[in-house]
Amino acid sequence: MTNLVQSLEQCWYISPPWGQRIPPLLVSFLERVYYVKSVKAFGYCCGVEWSPQGWKYEINTCNDNITVWGSELIGTGNLRSPLALAQPSLPQEKPVFRLGELVEFRFHGDGPPIRIVQGIQLINDCWFYSIEWISPTISEKGDEVFTSRDSITRVSDYDLERVRL
């Protein structure tokens, strides 16, 4: 007999939160952008993460990071690493994994190991990947699913392995 709770949990971790097709990004990683809200400044997109309202973008502006929605940005099409501006000899590697990719979480505890990449951030010159690490809870009646704001964690590529299908 199949353990239905375990099967449900496994399906939860590999089901894309954005639906069947991943929505396109409005700006690329490391693209120079203009932040049009209150700051009105240029910066670089150093990360993106899925939320129930859509993609949230992490923008690096003069050694400060701000999190904004795509509607608050204008892309310039200029793909240049902020590191390359400060140190032109330092190459910027691309992320190992991509958004929506299925990965195996090495430190998965008791739950199933397969997860889906829901975000990518450049932090201190290293790429980190957002994955869901805590299962949701279901109401006693079974009519509501509750997720915690802390259910998403950022991990390095060391913590993940590519899923071989």
Q: What is the pLDDT of residue 159?
A: 92
Q: What is the DSSP string of 80-108?
A: --HHHHH-TTS--PPPSS-TT-EEEETT-
Share above pLDDT 70 across residues of the chain, in percent, rounded to a whole number: 76
pLDDT tens digit string along 105-126? Answer: 988 677 788 999 999 998 888 8
Model pLDDT, residue 148: 60
Give whole-number Cα distances, 2 to 6, 58, 87, 139, in Å.
8, 42, 56, 22
Q: What is the pLDDT of residues 128-153, one digit of tens each?
A: 999 988 776 666 666 666 666 677 88
Band (pLDDT 50/70/90 cuts) for residue 81 is low
Domain locations in the chain?
4-162
Stated pTM of the model = 0.82
What's the start-to-end Cα distance of the chain, in Å? Answer: 25
Average pLDDT of span 45-67: 88
Let me know: does 161 contact 104? Beta carbons within 8 Å.
yes
Q: Is the CB of residue 36 less than 8 Å from the CB of residue 73? A: yes
Confidence band of 96 (pLDDT split at 50, 70, 90): very high
Split at pLDDT 50, 70, 90, the class of 36 is confident
Instruction: Give the position of tokens 């390359």.
Output: 84
- Supply the mean pLDDT for the chain: 81
Mean pLDDT of 59-78: 85
Q: What's the angle, vertex CA 60, arms to CA 154 and CA 99, rounded to 5?
A: 40
Report CA torsion sign: 132, 151, 119, 24. positive
Asked whether the predicted pLDDT for residue 1 surpasses 50, the reply is no
Assess whether pLDDT exceeds 50 at residue 91.
no
Higher pLDDT, 146 or 80: 80
DSSP-derived 3-state class of residue 159:
helix
pLDDT for 141: 67
> Angle CA(155)–CA(72)–CA(55) in degrees, nearest 5?
35
